[in-house]
Amino acid sequence: MSRCWLTGASSGIGAALAVQLLDQGHRVALGTRDANRLLHLMQRYPGQVLAAVGDVDCAEQVSRITAQIEHTWGALDLVILNAGTCEYLEPGLFDPALVERVVRTNLFGVSHCIAAAIPLLHRGERPHLVVMGSAVTWLSLPRAGAYGASKAAVRYLVESLRFDLINEGIAVTLVSPGFVDTPLTRRNDFPMPQLWTTERAAAHITARLPRRPLEINFPTAFTLGLRVIGALPVRWRLKLCQRLVRAPKD
């Protein structure tokens, strides 16, 4: 079975992916900032779990994690970079520090992990790099400037990097989900159409990984709708999305 590294494994889609990968018999290095959140999995799957404790925002901590993986397993066959965050920009309160925080985790954190993982993937069997993006990259939405910008950058990074890695034998998959019921999305105070459970999202992803697709996106109707609207002329999109704009808070 594969040797996997999964970041953001202690909650949300990552926690559901962890269980499904472990149930399939894989050995999984579970990324988290709090090792205590992995104890139940270490007890439930003895010998399969490696606690990969650290913050993806910090290159030194990421390097320490991959050194631990290298010492234990020697290589990686599958890397799923799932760790991420989301904060919204409120009307009239543009906050560059918020943008920096979101980009640091969603883009720079992914970059640290990619750099550290590639040497181990080179030694793996049928190496596969999977990166969590977002369906929001197909349509700009109000308040989502920081999150959307970070995920749009991830999409471009992954699609560009794919050209190099395919010649090195490493398959690259970008995952672009719609709304999934996670601790992050539970803080949302707006309707979330076609909301999926984390278990359903994880099952959808893991069922498709063996085919090593270029992209996995879901739900189909929702993501297709975003792509169609996102392809409209800018002025049409402006009129449509203006209806979603909130008044500035007092």
The pLDDT value given to residue 238 = 86
The pLDDT value given to residue 91 = 85
Q: Is the domain covering 3-242 a CATH 3.40.50.720 domain?
A: yes
CA distance 99 to 145: 8
Do 179 and 194 form a contact (C-beta atoms < 8 A)?
A: yes
The pLDDT value given to residue 249 = 65
Q: Where along the chain do its domains lie?
A: 3-242
The pLDDT value given to residue 213 = 98
CA distance 248 to 48: 50
The pLDDT value given to residue 237 = 85
Per-residue pLDDT of the chain (250 residues; tens, 9 = 90+): 899 999 999 999 999 999 999 999 999 999 999 989 999 999 999 999 999 999 999 999 999 999 999 999 999 999 999 999 999 998 888 999 999 999 999 999 999 999 999 999 999 999 999 999 999 999 988 888 999 999 999 999 999 999 999 999 999 999 999 999 988 888 887 788 899 999 999 999 999 999 999 999 999 999 999 999 999 999 988 888 777 776 666 5
Name the one residue in this structure whose structure tokens are 């750099």: 115
Q: What angle do CA 83, 88, 91 make, to 5 degrees?
A: 165
Please give the model's pTM, rounded to 2 decimal places.
0.94
